[in-house]
Structure 1
């Protein structure tokens, strides 16, 4: 049986339903990210797991035990907030020790556990400092240690990195993932940052308007988006308008280009309008590039982005972006130039609503 199970969870505030029939099973030791825009319900689901909100319907089960009627302090769940939420009048040591003291643990056990946690986050040399004497990244590591100190069965992180600058955010997310793996703790991480979710998760839940649009591994979410929302929200993706030519042959027309899809298009008929997705990194303009499919169009613009050059083509009225790696002798495509983009037919995805 899965360790953390969310069964038909619903949550309404007045007449507004913010979480709609949410279902998920999370394995012990798994790192799962809830990814989505503001207002999609991801933090509300997290708060229901923690006990800060009560589901309007459905059940939350941890290790076989229904949590719905348990108070927050009875659930043995650790939580890290976006705004650190450290006690400003307490030292680092006392902040980390707080949950253990509330639980009535012996002084010797508290001391040993706090030292263990501070060593885990590499801040044992700052035990006597106060939060205001520390950087944002250091404060968030202390908040993580405080959440982990009572040995919770589940760790919840509510956008813990969003207040930090980009460089610190990257290093701290890697540190959080390393600590999570080391402890083997079941973790739910809420973020609106797709790069964060893709880089550290075992699985991702892409949420949209209170529902889970897709649940899958980072590779599945990125390479095989299940809905138009997931396709547009995760990564940069071209959405191309096309017309079905022959459903039996899986052929569609994009502008003046006739293309055969690898994905079956059953249920559609000739003349139907469809949306086709293509990642910018999938194609190449090199004549020697491998590919069984070609789209030809006119260059709209080309931008130097450092490691890559992003070019936009007009293909039958569709603006299509594609990326190529930078090199010292590369020549940027010029506006008005005609280019042929080569790629594999398997790179084209039929996007269903």
Structure 2
């Protein structure tokens, strides 16, 4: 039995259904990310787990115990909000201690637990400061320590890094993951940032219009997207339109160039149009690159992105981007130049709507 069970969850606001039949089994100690654009329902699911929203239908259980009828303060859940929500009139120590005091813990127990938490987030030297005396990253770590101090069964994080600058976000997400692994706490993390989700999650739920389009490991989500939405939302992707030539032999045609796919197109008929996905890093212009497929086209543009140069080429009306590593000794192809892109047929994925 999974530790956190979400079964057939639905949520409507008036006549608008924002979550449709959401199902997931989360194991104890797993780090799960809900990933998707604004308005996709990811925060609504999180708030239903916390008890701040009541499901219109469905069941939530933790450790086999149903949670639907329990108020938020009875669910033993820790939550970190996007806006930190620290008490401005309390010191760092008192903010972290707040939940323990409400729970009726003894003063000696509270002090010991606060010291443990502040040491865990490496802010024990700032125990007497007030929130206004802390940086954004430090405030977020205090909010995390406050949520963990009460020893919750589940930790919920609602876009906790969105208000921070890029460098602090990277370092803090690594700290959050390290703390989660140290404590072994079951964690659900909501984000719209694909890099965050891919870098720290055990599994990712890609949400679209109130539904889970795909649930899988970061490797699965990135390399084998299940739907057109997942393919386009996670990472940079080329979407290529092709015509099925011979379904039995998996032969398709991109412009006037034939390609044999590794993935089956037997469900299509000859003449059908099929959508294909290809990651920019999958292709190379270098002869001798391990490959079994190639496409020839004209360069449209080349953009310098630092460590890579992203080049765009036109193949039968499809503009395909591919990445070259930046090297001072290699000149990128010029616009109008004819080039041949080499890649493995297995990297060309059939995408179903």
TM-score by length of 1: 1.00
Deviations 1:116-146 (A, max 9, x none): 0000000000000000000000000000000
CA distance in 2 between partners of 1:26 and 1:316 (Å): 45
> Which residue matches 1:123?
123
> Which residue matches 2:45?
45
CA distance in 2 between partners of 1:295 and 1:214 (Å): 30
- Whether 1:314 aligns to 2:314 is yes
Give RMSD over aligned pairs.
0.4
- Whether 1:284 aligns to 2:284 is yes
CA distance in 2 between partners of 1:213 and 1:185 (Å): 26
TM-score by length of 2: 1.00
Secondary structure at the aligned position of 2:298 is classed as strand
Structure 1 residue 160 displacement after superposition: 0.1
Secondary structure at the aligned position of 1:99 is classed as helix
> Which residue matches 1:224?
224
Over 3 Å off, 4+ runs: none
Deviations 1:177-220 (A, max 9, x none): 00000000000000000000000000000000000000000000
- Whether 1:180 aligns to 2:180 is yes
> Which residue matches 1:85?
85
In the comparison of the two structures, how many residue pairs are matched?
353
Structure 1 residue 266 displacement after superposition: 2.0
Which segments of 5 or more consecutive residues in structure 1 lack a partner in the other structure?
none
Deviations 1:279-324 (A, max 9, x none): 0000000112110000111000001111001000001001100001
CA distance in 1 between partners of 2:110 and 2:291 (Å): 62
Secondary structure at the aligned position of 1:180 is classed as helix
Structure 1 residue 95 displacement after superposition: 0.2
CA distance in 2 between partners of 1:287 and 1:106 (Å): 71
Deviations 1:18-44 (A, max 9, x none): 000000000000000000000000000
Q: Aligned ranges for residues 192-271 of structure 1 at < 5 Å? A: 192-271=192-271
Secondary structure at the aligned position of 1:156 is classed as strand
> Which residue matches 1:13?
13
CA distance in 2 between partners of 1:326 and 1:226 (Å): 32
CA distance in 2 between partners of 1:78 and 1:245 (Å): 55
Secondary structure at the aligned position of 1:263 is classed as coil
CA distance in 2 between partners of 1:47 and 1:127 (Å): 30
- Whether 1:302 aligns to 2:302 is yes
> Which residue matches 2:133?
133
